[in-house]
Structure 1
């Protein structure tokens, strides 16, 4: 690489270091340090791509596009290699995977307390954010030579940490980010200073120029600038600590500016995976809420927070099937028929001030909730949810009307096949799920005659016969092999058991999902039940047509085994006809009102076009008629087209402005020098207009008409700059514009170039890097 490029390399590496140091402020927010090292490595590769592309003398816009493409390849390799060609070439499946990870990552950010675990979603968001900020810093500092403006994306990255938690804004992280920014300023300033007062002689610059650049960079003015910058940064860090009454905050080294309190008052929320494990590992069973129920058996009072219906082989997630308003009371219960015993019950829940959650814990199936606030309705989880982070369960009281469904073994055994659309959605398994999962499920359920018997066999295998052990210290793991690891090690906590049983049920064709919430809790002397952090739980739910979602309990020693999965008393060998006393008769009649899944009656004159109630999130999206993926692909194509045509369109706009009659010869001269630059003749700032004109004529070997136009324009510029005002006005009055002369000159500039160079000058003009910041 040639020596004049040394300054650009130094500035690019300084931009990389500044971004990495600013990303370090995220350390208190994300658990571990591996993600920071991986981010630094990915960013270094992206920076290296930029250095290599600039060495080829490509336009800055094309270099930035190349770095953006390299970032996409790096993200593919780091987060979705199994969906890509040769592990690095992005495909539509990779983009779909990115969409899934971004969605789950955003949900994880909203649910986890700091430091959040490095889930795949959070990992992708961190990598993508660091690469994007690094690209912006690199573009601003190197080709645009504006390191001061590069502080804005660095500040945005630091502000993420400062806005989320006080610890993230501690002074060591600020100092590290500030040092990185100062080094970037000094590097870019040294590069700029090395060119002050020098003569750029075009071809022929060699070691003498490089040595002279170093001489200027080492002069007292450069060294003084470094000292001033370092002193300024030091004062910015020290002075606030010395001033009185500044209060707690960013530069409080004692760390007393933390929010929240200890013990019972600490804010707690339950998350589907790792946060749930964290709650179970707490030394104290911190109280979260209490409830009092009328009409519900204590052992069946599981409180459901959410239902996870999407399985991608790595994790289960909720489809967030939300709507602004809940349906008319009583809420419909998917799949529940009138022939199944379903008694009504009421429960009052009171949440303590230390528990903040954006979904209401409720018994399933819920038919209505009375609560204050603007809550939305989650059709999939059948509870109320909040899209506003300020609206949580903290200190909330609400009343729940729900059903106690009591299916018989016969009803479960004889359940008909669900609707094909519903069955297809809730039995989806990803292609990357190891075949070992289905093989094990078939082996465990060998001899079972129907889905109900298969489900009971799976529950029995996990809870007793399979030799599994409950252990909350086991790492939850990640990736498609996590389920296989759990099957081999045979130890884990409720998340492992629920996730694995639901996945195995889906491989058998049984609709399944995972519910997250709480076990019933402990009864107090007053008759209330207390839910603590140790009651956090996850369990699988399997769907049976006519009954709906049915809870199973595969986790050994946790929760309660449902009555309908236990062997019948006194007759374990063969099924017997149930005695009349076991079948509720009169009590089942009132259940016909709240249980229909959707009204069969529909009057087109009143309701308009009759449509069935959607039973899956995808059915609801189809009815809404919003084509998500075509919009995403169309927007991506439009963005790519804009990136490719942006320099051309900008040059056309600037050219029209410069060649307007009112712009005079100065605007035409700027257009001439930039047009020459687009065709490979770089501008030299130390040349006079006459010198520049002669060099353009000589290098481009212009013909006589184009040569005359260039020299005439150079003379007009000199007259505009140095002649008396009267002569300049006289010359301008006799000319309406320079558009014709510039068109002639551009034709001459392109005449001696190969076709590829002419296309590059038109669609990827080099001067766009200067036109954009100068705005003409």
Structure 2
């Protein structure tokens, strides 16, 4: 393998390692395998074109062309000319996919599904970075500069993933770049001359040179460079874990926000600190609960209900009762005709999560916990009016209902009573007219309150072009709602406030709830709720059902079944066969479904096969491809680890075989000494090398004599006009056994599993195979006429 091929392989590995930082952002890992295959084809193109002498500009141009063909085949094969060549239709399809991918990125929260548009963006980005890395490292021989595109790829992934981009992704990216630097440095070192280390044993080992003796040569620079690189990578990985964190994120030790608990505990201020919960600090667990209601991702934990919108802020009226009413608590507006299951949930708050009210599923009918609490009838929970009690480290039981209204019940719900409608549809007089006008325009043609609510939700999630962005300032008041409708970017507070305000302009009673989404189910059946589950959502009132939750924030939470838009069945044409309702409709060029619609659609083997495509594992769907990939990857890793020892064993057997000769036996002896820490020195004669080995590693008289005989025999092979035939293998075996007996256990284990001389053995074997292949393919071997003067 020549130097350019080695550097190209290292560049491929470095690019793939940096692309691994995208794993927390995209569901699954098959896309990374596909990107690795495409990247390997791109790198292989450059390797093949660099073997003959071609202008330096040719390989990068060919690689770019091959990359375009690969993207065409993988992403837009149906629009390509002959399924391969990109034409106008293919480029038009590229544009549509890129637009859809950008739209998906704005709608989905990490990890996003690997849609066709996202795959195209990822594959194209990885191939572009790979092309730049290959150009800088291989063509221009500047591996250090190749770190810039690698850093760009990793920085984009880490910046979006935030704390999900853990140390292991940084380690993969950093290791790949270090490998690229070491391979390129090895190539430069080979061009200027190889440098071997000194005696090869530490000063504390028996047989080391005395302290006053002059060293044979300077220290091993190549080995030192590797150690420095590994140490630097290790420090970069461990430093964030060892150093104190600079930002408290959700911690509020100074009590600046006025909503924190004692002792710097984590708390939730619905109007001030919700944004901090979403963008700062790690995703700390604040609640753990177990419920007998089953796997219910739609079971939100409500902390407070904000019912007043006075033109300055959304706030709670604090309808607190000093005396907690007896169980069961009445549920506001719920009729007996609506299906509701009684559920018990046991919640445990984290020791550092302090809140004056208890987050509970809505509607709660009883909370069992010690203490003198007040009852918040607006939020249907317990609250500490005097601040003496908190949720900090508290375990409590909640009896509540899982209300499951149908879309038909909501659509046919009667008008709300006058007092409820009058109070919960109030909007400030200074509310900009564009809020109500936009709400009327979005819901035009809706027949009832449910259709208007679903139209608003769909507009925020899909049709309105809104983008989820936690960096937007969380303002309040009418101006903030109007600004959000104009800018169309924000996070859950903006979406909840805007939909509730717009619903009120449509005479639908509405309020905003603040709390947590349902969390993540654990292996033991419990659910963990973290600070990044902090959320705000609108609740609309329907007579006979009560407060009904909607989800207008793109990519966040879950949309309840009654809020999903009805699926439109295609009208059968004259030649269109009747469609089986269980089958998935065929793909169409219409926009991809919204996050809520995508989550609601059942996944079938047919849908998985359609989404797979080229390299998407559509073949043999009954094969567990994930297990196959992990098994293949583990086997590959074990094979790579065992590869040096296997090559070394093969070389030992060949060198000591009958008739192998004295030079091969001498090479085996010096490589055995190298494996045990006595590195070869290129300027030494065989006799000097033997004397140094005996000086570093004391041998008995018989082994010393055998070592001397092999060295003299090798010198005769080099300088004598007609050296006698000798069998040096027995002497080499005896010396090798003596060297191993004098070495320590760690040295013997290292020599067996990771022999140092394997680098030279593998290089010689590959060089010999390459030379043999060139000889067989030369003109003389094909019978061509030899040029004059060659003696043919």
Q: TM-score, normalised by structure 2?
A: 0.39
Larger helix percent: 1
Q: TM-score, normalised by structure 1?
A: 0.40
